[in-house]
């Protein structure tokens, strides 16, 4: 119970008591927790014949999204989909995301829209990122990005998807732990039915500007022999997998900038310089070169993710085996137990690696000459893994580059087009929704109200 309510606090206490490797029992399952980042490679690169990710993934797919796929192999799926999110496909995704962000974020050229408006920062961040991200991957209602009637259709449809998605997202952590009440199960089933219709094969086939990623995934499901009903369920699962982290990441990043004036000034100064160097007054488009020319912002993003990304990296033990740690210690793992890394505790919040790890320091990942800092140490030895928001090894997030580009674009468009401020500058940064430890980006316990208006 304590593990489910606040995993970080529970595991931190266990680490103080038992060291950086120990075994706990949760819901009848023995789980060995490893918190030594020097030893993570022994898990991340172990063969799938000994340590398997697929079995637990299939359990969560069913519990959270009612998805059962025949002959499902996440590793094979990743190989197939990676190319659609990287390399030669990245520029087209970046361009589409820019247009879709503008559609969702800048809908009203009316002079009255230059009045101050108030909104929850989390709602603003999550809704804009999910809606634009959804349109970018799953396609637009019609082909012409710049046609106002097409944009209106995209705004209305993406808002409907987001509103249903957000309601479901509030229930998914409890669903993953099989803790939903009868009433919550009924509510979740109703929301999912609505979303399956919005993401049906028929609806997706009628869309324009679909990404090569969604085309590839649809073809993959057809080759597996999945029927149309299950394909719709898989589309909802992928919507959550691709979009559930970027919005919360933007929320924390913007909140840290609004609470730390030196950080905001440094980011805005860097952004103005990037735009000016390309002979622009306002951002008319964002090239990969521009996105790659922001070391200050990169440090801010890395620091934000260090503080707020908290996924578990889990493996099922398929056969009795020996786990050898970096310091030479050996531990026996039993078949059918689970092995789990929790990088949030170490390296990310480890005081031996980071001074004042609970504090936001925007330049923590910057060197004196304004390049990315990569040298961090524990026990006198340089760390290979010092910040792991994207996972690592064969489980590194395949959408990382698209996600980073998308986060940058949203923040850059927001800061160049809007004035924004906290409604109450003295309001404290909210705590985490502790039930989300283990599942990626953390969400706040409550929203923070901001004021914003279009720049003159």
Residue in the block written with tokens 């990037």: 274
**Tokens standing for residue 67:** 């998805």
- The answer to whether residues 441 and 308 touch, using CB atoms and an 8 Å cutoff, is yes
CA distances from 422 to 114, 116, 297, 398, 426 (A): 17, 12, 20, 34, 9
Annotated binding-site residue numbers? 63, 69, 245, 338, 397
- The answer to whether residues 347 and 388 touch, using CB atoms and an 8 Å cutoff, is yes
**Tokens standing for residue 414:** 């927001």
Annotated binding-site residue numbers for substrate? 63, 69, 245, 338
Residue in the block written with tokens 């026990």: 379
**Tokens standing for residue 174:** 């409890």
Strand order in the sheet with 117-120: 117-120, 449-454, 418-422
Give the integer Cα–Cα distance in Å for 12 and 32.
Answer: 14
Annotated binding-site residue numbers for heme? 397
* CA angle at 412 for the pair 416 and 355, rounded to the nearest 5°: 120
Scored b (16 or more CB within 10 A) or e, 324-359 reads ebeeeeebebeeebbbbbbbbbbbbbbeebbeebee
450 membership: H or E segment, kind and range? strand 449-454
Give the integer Cα–Cα distance in Å for 296 and 289.
Answer: 15
């Amino acid at each position: 119970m304590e593990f489910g309510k606040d995993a970080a606090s529970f595991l931190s206490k266990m680490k103080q008591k038992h060291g950086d490797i120990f075994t706990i029992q949760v819901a009848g399952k023995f789980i060995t927790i490893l918190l030594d980042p020097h030893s993570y490679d022994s898990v991340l690169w172990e063969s799938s014949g000994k340590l398997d990710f697929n079995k637990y993934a299939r359990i969560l797919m069913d519990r959270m999204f009612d998805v059962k796929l025949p002959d499902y192999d996440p590793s094979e799926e990743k190989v197939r989909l990676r190319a659609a999110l990287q390399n030669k496909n990245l520029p087209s995704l970046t361009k589409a995301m820019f247009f879709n962000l503008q559609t969702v974020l800048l809908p009203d050229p009316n002079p009255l829209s230059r009045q101050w408006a108030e909104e929850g920062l989390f709602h603003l961040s999550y809704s804009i990122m999910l809606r634009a991200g959804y349109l970018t991957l799953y396609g637009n209602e019609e082909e012409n990005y710049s046609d106002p009637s097409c944009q209106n259709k995209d705004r209305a449809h993406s808002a409907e998807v987001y509103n249903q998605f957000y309601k479901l997202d509030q229930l998914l952590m409890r669903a993953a732990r099989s803790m939903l009440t009868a009433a919550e199960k009924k509510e979740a089933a109703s929301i999912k039915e609505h979303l399956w219709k919005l993401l049906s094969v028929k609806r997706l086939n009628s869309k324009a500007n679909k990404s090569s990623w969604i085309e590839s995934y649809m073809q993959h499901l057809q080759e597996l022999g999945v029927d149309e009903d299950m394909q719709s369920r898989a589309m909802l699962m992928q919507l959550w997998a691709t979009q559930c982290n970027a919005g919360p990441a933007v929320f924390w990043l913007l909140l840290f900038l609004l609470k730390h004036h030196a950080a905001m000034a440094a980011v805005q100064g860097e952004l103005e310089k990037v735009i000016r160097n390309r002979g622009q007054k306002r951002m008319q488009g964002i090239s990969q070169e521009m996105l790659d020319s922001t070391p200050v912002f990169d440090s801010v993003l890395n620091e934000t993710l260090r503080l707020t990304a908290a996924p578990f990296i889990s493996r099922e033990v398929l056969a009795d085996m020996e786990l050898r740690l970096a310091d030479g210690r050996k531990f026996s793992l039993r078949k059918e137990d689970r092995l789990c890394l929790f990088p949030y505790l170490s390296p990310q919040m480890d005081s031996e690696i980071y001074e004042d790890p609970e504090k936001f320091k925007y330049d923590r990942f910057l060197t004196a000459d304004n390049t990315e800092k990569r040298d961090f140490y524990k026990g006198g030895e340089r760390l290979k893994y010092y910040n792991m928001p994207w996972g690592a090894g064969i489980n590194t997030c395949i959408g990382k580059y698209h996600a980073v580009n998308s986060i940058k674009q949203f923040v850059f468009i927001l800061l160049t087009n809007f004035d924004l401020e906290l409604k109450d500058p003295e309001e404290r940064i909210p705590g985490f929704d502790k039930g989300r430890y283990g599942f990626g980006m953390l969400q706040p316990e409550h929203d923070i109200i901001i004021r914003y208006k279009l720049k003159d």
